[in-house]
Structure formats: structure tokens, C-alpha cells
Amino acid sequence: MKRFYLYILFPALLALSCNKYVDTPVPQNELISAKVFESDKTATAAVAGIYTEMNSLNYYFSNVLMNYLTAMSADELYYASAFASFDVFKNNALLPSSQYVNTMWTQAYYYIYNANACIEGLTAATKLTESVRKQLLGEAYFVRGFLHFHLVNLYGHVPLITNTNYLENTNRGQDHPDSVYNQVIRDLQQAKALMGDDYPTAARTRPNKAVASAMLARAYLYTRQWAAAEKEAGEVIANTRYQLLTDLNTVFLLNSKEALWQLQPVNVAGGRNTWEGFTALPTTATALPLYRLDSMLVRSFETGDARLANWAGTRTTSAGVVVYFPYKYKVRTNAAAGVSEYSMVLRFAEQYLVRAEARVQLNKLSDARADLDTLRHRALLPSLPAGLDQPALLRAVEQERRVELFTEWGHRWFDLKRTQRADAVIRPRKGTTFWQATDTLYPIPADAIRTNVNLDQNDGYRQ
């Protein structure tokens, strides 16, 4: 089998069983073709198979890597034992040859390839129920936009891949981030226009229109389109399907009313639920955690913040030191109870933070403060002072994002970069021995550079 820079294998994943999502899997050993899109069931299986693959094994792009390794790059998390593959993230000492730098790149493009194959197949399909075809096409556009969004934030200039043409894509160079963001927004707009208001399944494991709006709101925020970000986030907030849960221990349960989009656990042998919980939670009731929250993050919580009490677990070392670990997911294994938690990808609370930041930038200060206070009150904290000016409210947004979204999908890492605060925040924490301003981007994987002469390495990583 040929290997090329995107590491896209011709879509074997679509031959995987998808019976967790639909009744009928894609025919075994069949390359994706027009035949796959000749029935609603097999077409649905093709799209749903992407979600199955995204969360099928541990240390994948869509679970531990995006949740925990990006947190190590920032100032949220560290691994309490020497492990070279993690140390390079904690120390911001990544190399083009680093294992997980390559994994994140190759897996994201692998899923993009399959989304493109679905877009092409669904666009040409003539035998599907039209409502099914539109929903599936919207999901495929959403997945492509979602993944390109994360690639551009991780690596900067990245190839924008919008078809399955091997000859065209093998040697494609990098696109400017502006071009990638423009395509992300177009894809999400398409997704929103095509998908329905309802979820296609009982669980919230396949995106709907509100999920596209939520991701659009984030994309608009990152591209400083404040009014558009406020509008999209406002649409989601007004949707009565979603609500902030007062019991923080229920937020990450399957079908939580705070969930916009979740990935269903696929490999649940031994009573596993999410890979996030299985990986980060201590192995016994007395064992010390290996994944530990940075002391600076712990100290950043205000006294009485319910998020620290409910979303951070503690253990005490033999020396009497209290260490904290991520506890948003409560289940490591529980064979008796079955699966009760799903992996959270997009969450309702983020939309208040998006709208608050957009409103600060639009000088709607009282409205922005009200959005932040909604989350603060849920966390049992008092309202913000009424007289905060724009710079103070932007710092309040940064703080609320930090304590609300910690160890979730790279939010803190991306926030520090997009607000140009990374150098000011991380340099004092990690020191000049480890931190350089160019560390805000991950290196383009060495294997990608070797197999595509049109790729250029990011600053700080050239030999």
C-alpha cells in the first residue's frame, strides 16, 4: 500500500462495523464507491463509521491527544512520571519526529479523506431518501470543517484537502491559515443549511444544526467576526434542547442536556466508558494519579468554585502533598453499571463564553458580564463587579474559559495562542530553557516533510 504525506489509507474504516450507530454496516471488504450510497442504511453507516473510528482506540486524535496532550503544551496538566512521548509536550520540546505530533496530523487527515469521500458519494447519489442524503452530507461537511479547524490551530499553515484526488493531494503544499478558516466557515455553513434540528439518533453522537452553529460561533470568534460569533452562539443558547446543568457531576453523562456533540465509546471491554476517564483516573481508590493538574491551574480557581470541587479529584502523597487530577469523567471502569458517560466534544457552556467574548469586543459590556455571570452562578460564585472595563472583562473571559474548559479539546492552548498571551503566560511558568515563542505551533511531522517536497517546516523546527 502506498504511503504519502497525508497518511490517508483508502477508506478501510468505512468497512468497519458501525452497528453501534446504525443497524447495517457498510459491506465488508468493499472500497467506498457509488454502491455504498445506494441505500440509506449503508450511506448512513459510511458517515457514522467516521465517528466510530475517531473514538475506537486510546491515544487517538479525538480523545486523549486533543484533550490531554494539548493541556500539557499549555499550563493545565502534566504527567507525573518520565515518559519521553509526553515530556516533549510538557516541556514544549517537540520535534518533527515526535510520535504524537505525527499521530495527530495523520489521523485528522485520515478522517478528512473519508469525509471527502462521503461528500463526493452523497453529492452524486440518486437513490437515497432526500432528507437522509442532506443530513448525511451536512454531517460530512461538518466533520471536514471541524478537523481543518483543529489542524490549522495546531500546525498553522496546513494543506487544505477538499477532495479524494490522490494525484492532486499527494504533493499539495500548505495553505494560508486565512484560506483554511474561510473553508472551515464555508463547510460549517453548508452543514448548518443541510442538517436538521433533531439528532438523527437517540444519543447525541451525530451532529445536528445546532452543533454546526456552535462550531461556527467558535470559528467566527477565532477570526474576529464578533457580530457573527454573537449571533451563532445566541442561536444555540436560545435552543431549549440544551441547558446548563446545576449538578456538575452529571455534565459528562451520555445524553447530558449540556452535550451538543459526544462521541460514543466503542471499545468498552472490561467496563470501560470513555478513554478520557480510563486514561486519567487513578487505577484504584488509593493510587496516585499519573495525569495531574498543574498547580497554577488549581490555584487559579476562586475560593468556593464548584468546578474545582466537582471536576478535579484529589489524592495525598506519602509526603502529605495533595495532588489534583482531571475528574470531569467519573468512570474508569464499571462493568456492572455499563456505559454511562460519553466523550464530550462540543458543550453548551462554551457558547456563553463565545458570546461573552464577542460582546466584550462589541463593547456590549453589561451583556457580556451577564453571560459570564451565568456560568459563575452555576459554579456557586458571585457576580462580577459591575464597573469592569473592556480589558478587565477580557481577562475575566480568559479566566472563565480557563476554569470551565480545562483539559477539553485544546481550548486553553488555542486561547493563549489566538489572544497572543502564550508567551506572557507560559514563559514564566516553564522558563526559557523550555519555552520559545515559536512553540505555539507544533512541527510539521518529519514523515510528511520527507514524502512531500512542497511542505515547509514551521519556524523553530528547521534543522
Give pLDDT tens digits along the chain (463 positions): 333 333 333 333 333 333 333 333 343 334 456 799 999 999 999 999 999 999 999 999 999 999 999 999 999 999 999 999 999 999 999 999 999 999 999 999 999 999 999 999 999 999 999 999 999 999 999 999 999 999 999 999 999 999 999 889 999 999 999 999 999 999 999 999 999 999 999 999 999 999 999 999 999 999 999 999 999 999 999 999 999 999 999 999 999 999 999 999 999 999 999 999 999 999 999 999 999 999 999 999 999 999 999 999 999 999 999 999 999 999 999 988 899 999 999 999 999 999 999 999 999 999 999 999 999 999 999 999 999 999 999 999 999 999 999 999 999 999 999 999 999 999 999 988 899 999 999 999 999 999 999 999 999 999 7
- Per this entry, what is the length of the chain? 463
What are 254-275's pLDDT values in tens digits? 999 999 999 999 999 999 999 9
Q: Are 449 and 455 in contact (CB under 8 A)?
A: yes
Taking phi first (over 0 means left), then psi (-120 to 50 degrees means alpha), and beta for anything else, what does residue 196 get?
beta
Residue with C-alpha cell 493510587?
287
Instruction: Report H helices in 157-196.
Output: 166-170, 177-194
Bridge partners, residue 272, by sequence: 333
Counts of helices then strands in the chain (DSSP H, E): 18, 6
pLDDT at 173: 97
Instruction: Report H helices in 165-241.
Output: 166-170, 177-194, 209-222, 226-237
pLDDT at 463: 75
Report the Cα 46 to chain-centroid distance in Å.
Answer: 22
Strands 312-316 and 343-347: unpaired
- Take residue 60 and report the three cell numbers written for it: 487517538
> Around 39, how many Cα atoms within 13 Å sit in the side-chain half-sphere?
9
Which amino acid type is present at position 277?
A: G
Domain 12-255+345-440, CATH: 1.25.40.390
Q: Please enumerate in sequence order all residues whose Cβ is within 8 A of that of 34, keeping only pairs 6 or more positions apart, or say none.
A: 121, 124, 125
The percent of the chain in helix, strand and coil, each rounded to the nearest 5, is 50, 5, 40
pLDDT at 32: 56
CA distances from 268 to 19, 209, 274 (A): 14, 29, 8
Closest among 119, 117, 176, 120 to 148, alpha carbons compared: 176
Q: Please enumerate in sequence order all residues whose Cβ is within 8 A of that of 229, keeping only pairs 6 or more positions apart, or say none.
A: 217, 218, 220, 221, 354, 355, 357, 358
Global confidence as pTM: 0.94
Q: Are 336 and 271 in contact (CB under 8 A)?
A: yes
CA distances from 387 to 365, 366, 383 (A): 9, 9, 12
What are 126-135's pLDDT values in tens digits? 999 999 999 9
- Return the biggest CA–CA distance within the chain: 68
Euclidean distance between CA atoms 115 and 265, whole angstroms: 20
